[in-house]
Amino acid sequence: MSMAFQFYAVLVIAFIGYMTPTLAALIYRRSKWGRIALLNLFLGWTVVGWFFAFLAAFGGERDTVQTPDL
């Protein structure tokens, strides 16, 4: 493997790890996923900001999907 490929592979893996709270908020359909994404984007570089975004992604309210009554 070339050094450039290894560099970009590590960069992509690090970015996914950094954005884990935002991805979790989207997957678990958190009602305030936009706020979690902004917190993660601007304060995620600090350990405390990333930790709070992570807690917010796994806690709180989910969006409820309305299903029709049959």
CA–CA distance, 33 with 59 (Å, rounded to integer): 11
- Cα of first residue to Cα of last residue in the chain, in angstroms, is 56
pTM for the complete prediction? 0.75
pLDDT of residue 29: 87
Given a contact cutoff of 8 angstroms between Cβ atoms, the answer to whether 26 and 59 are in contact is no
Q: How many residues does the chain have?
A: 70
31-46: pLDDT as tens digits: 889 999 999 999 998 9
Lowest mean pLDDT among 12-16, 49-53, 66-70: 66-70
The tally of CA atoms less than 13 A away on the side-chain side of residue 36 is 27
Residue 53 has pLDDT above 80, yes or no: yes
CA–CA distance, 23 with 60 (Å, rounded to integer): 15
